[in-house]
Amino acid sequence: MIYTVTLNPSVDVILEVKNLNIGDKNHVSDEFTLPGGKALNVSRVLSQLKIPTIATGFTGGHQGRFIEEWLDKENIMTDFVNIEEENRTNIKLLLDNEETTINSKGPNISHYEVDELLYYLSRVGEGDTIVMGGSVPPMEEKSDKDIYSRMVSIAKANKAQFIADIPAEYLPDVIKEGPILVKPNIEDLMEIFGTKIETIEDMDKYGKKIIEMGAQNAIVSYGKKGSMFFCQDGHSYISEEIHINEVVNSVACRDSMIGGFIGTLVRSSDYLEAYKVAIAAATATAEVLDLPTREEIEKIIPKVVINQFS
């Protein structure tokens, strides 16, 4: 079973505006409300690909009920830890084909609630995969900020696999434990290695260092132009840019990438094919306000071209 763990899920309010006048009244031309969260989105993409998952993490209040009810309507199994505080609301403004996102910090999580989630995850075993994604909400006890490392310890003790798409500050400790995939972007690499990355050659150099640190595979995105894939055979691969008429959703692309990758890997064990579907899922996501359907992903797959870089 694939368990997706979203520590800081949200209700995302998407507002489309014709003009934005700071300090003055503005009018919304269209609006949408969706559940948000990196690993939560992975469950939603995997559902489209007919791969069962269990979505877990922290939910509370009216916002938490909205998230769980939405997933239930999509026939996604859920088993969240109910928390005392309410989940956050994030705002995304759409103006002239540009996205501006305002993210709330999230609810305060108690030590008891952390322990309850970790106890729940102790059920994973050999053959299972934990997908960890997104920010860490405020913790009542500072020691609980290491929750991702503790989740990795549980996975390894139970011989389960794990995937991480988490903030750069937590990545080094997780990478050295051998995740089957990590999904940093260029900014994450620059933070991890304390350097500038200005060329494809730079990205190739530091992407390979992620593998040397312990990751089995890594996908590194570089904005709208594409991504690079690094695997344990020592090679790197690059995807050619796919033309998109209008980018309306860049925030969830990396979540869809992970869904496309793991959803293909569990069926084929072919890492390059998994990367190909990951690119298709991300590209299809860029063209829709929410997440793509299976048909929308499959339509992109023939357009994906992957070349060995080094």
What is the set of active-site residues?
A: 255
Tokens of 279: 């690119």
Tokens of 219: 């996908």
Q: Find all residues with CB under 8 Å of 276, minimum gap 6, and list them.
A: 264, 301, 304, 306
**Alpha helical stretches, state H, 133-270:** 147-157, 171-175, 186-193, 200-213, 253-268
CB-CB contact of 301 with 268 (8 Å): no
Tokens of 43: 């469950």
DSSP 209-226: HHHHHT-SEEEEE-GGG-
Measured distance CA(179)–CA(217) in Å, rounded: 8
Q: How far does CA 69 lie from the centroid of its chain?
A: 21
Element (H, E) at 230: strand 227-231
**Burial (CB count <10 Å: 0-12, 13-18, 19+), residue 223:** exposed
Measured distance CA(278)–CA(118) in Å, rounded: 29
Measured distance CA(61)–CA(86) in Å, rounded: 4
Measured distance CA(69)–CA(221) in Å, rounded: 32
263-266: long-range pairs with CB below 8 Å, 24+: 263/45, 263/46, 263/49, 263/51, 264/49, 265/180, 266/2, 266/51, 266/129
